[in-house]
Structure 1
């Protein structure tokens, strides 16, 4: 409670899944939450869960790829809460496909520019805009110890069929390290969490056989839970000497 009591934390993509899990975990420790998403019904449910913990939560419908909307949203957050102490850049999306798909010596399809730019827009542009406005708010509102946590992925190493997503997540790692160097002098820390296979709606849509096969590739022999990612977020907030690093939460997939 001492770490989070009355601190204001912004969580993007918190209408469901990992973002909701992170927001709800922070709420149990006393944080006040600003929830960003485009899913209004999902945000309403997240707010209810947070308010059940006796803390304040406000939902802001925001397209994080839109500069004007992000600027306005963070201005409204400071008006409503008085300051920003932390930001969790969680929002992301995928549009998978081979850059060039060929069969029998002929090109069958290509990854469209729209699919490439859409994924980079949400995962990279959106994180940049939120971090820029988040840092600005931290500095101007007198935050004594700011935290930026960027939810990347093991895809930052490069995943088959994910040119766009891998590029975005690798770019997010690079930006996060830059921010750690640029804003440490303001006592603002920037960290990356790279989740492995986590039980979200996407994984739950897979067949039981596929999930079993996936779990078998993980040293711990099990799929991660959303709570594992939320625990990592709490660890970063609590340890004030963590910055500029990647915390991989993947059950040992990359060992």
Structure 2
């Protein structure tokens, strides 16, 4: 896929990996449809993309709400006239042990609310975005590519029952969609980042961040632009389909 003049929709685009992918793909000439719940950060990313000479529009939407997802994709197709790429990046964390106990006494347990919140955004949101993207790509007749953002936590990470389950589900959805949608000229792939220096990591104490980096074979955390580069590579290589690409510096949880 040549990215110049293509339309790319990215969720969770206000900051972090979503913003980095938006700016990185805009630099390659793609027009960008940005989706996020935070209108202030959404506008900041939109302005950065527009400065690169492409069209960029922002849409406030919660990916866990079907009506808002449908509306966002409808608005994007209305405003750009096409949809070539959909990147489902939006995600949240609600970490906690399944059961927290000490000396045989249960002190706390992962709440259903925290389980459901993460599943709603990180898994159901990806499902809704993939479904709506595929419908419009098929109807428009230009094919396209879906990229889902999973995580190396899909292999199971301490204190992340909800997040790990959701990201494993995202990886499985990606393989299913690659098989189902290829007949329509639509590819589906996923990126599974390791620790990347976004706002979440930047807020950590330096000593904790240093310890985290030491556990990674390359000796550092990832940079958002490295994830953006991976997204561009997936889009530009039309033979990549049904893959979950782990970008983690050699780390495996």
Residue matched to 1:169: 167
| Alpha-carbon distance between aligned partners in 2 of 1:207 and 1:63, rounded to the nearest angstrom | 30
Residue matched to 2:141: 142
Deviation at 1:210, TM superposition (A): 1.3
Residue matched to 2:201: 203
Superposed CA offset, 1:150-209 (max 9, x none) = 111001001110000000000000011100000011111110101011001111111111
Residue matched to 2:112: 113
Deviation at 1:254, TM superposition (A): 2.4
Q: In terms of mean alpha carbon deviation, does 61-70 or 37-46 score higher?
A: 61-70
* SS, match of residue 209 in structure 1: helix
Unaligned runs of 5+ in 1: none
User: How many residues matched?
Assistant: 253
| Alpha-carbon distance between aligned partners in 2 of 1:184 and 1:79, rounded to the nearest angstrom | 25
Q: How does 1:153-168 map to 2 (within 5 A)?
A: 153-168=151-166
How much is the aligned-residue C-alpha RMSD, in angstroms? 1.1
- Report if the CA contact (8 A) 1:180-1:190 is conserved: yes
| Alpha-carbon distance between aligned partners in 1 of 2:146 and 2:47, rounded to the nearest angstrom | 25
* SS, match of residue 33 in structure 1: strand
Q: How does 1:1-255 map to 2 (within 5 A)?
A: 3-143=2-142, 145-254=143-252
Unaligned runs of 5+ in 2: none
* SS, match of residue 106 in structure 2: strand
| Alpha-carbon distance between aligned partners in 1 of 2:222 and 2:14, rounded to the nearest angstrom | 20
- Report if the CA contact (8 A) 1:15-1:42 is conserved: yes
Q: In terms of mean alpha carbon deviation, does 129-138 or 209-218 score higher?
A: 209-218
Deviation at 1:74, TM superposition (A): 1.0
| TM-score (structure 2 length as normaliser) | 0.98
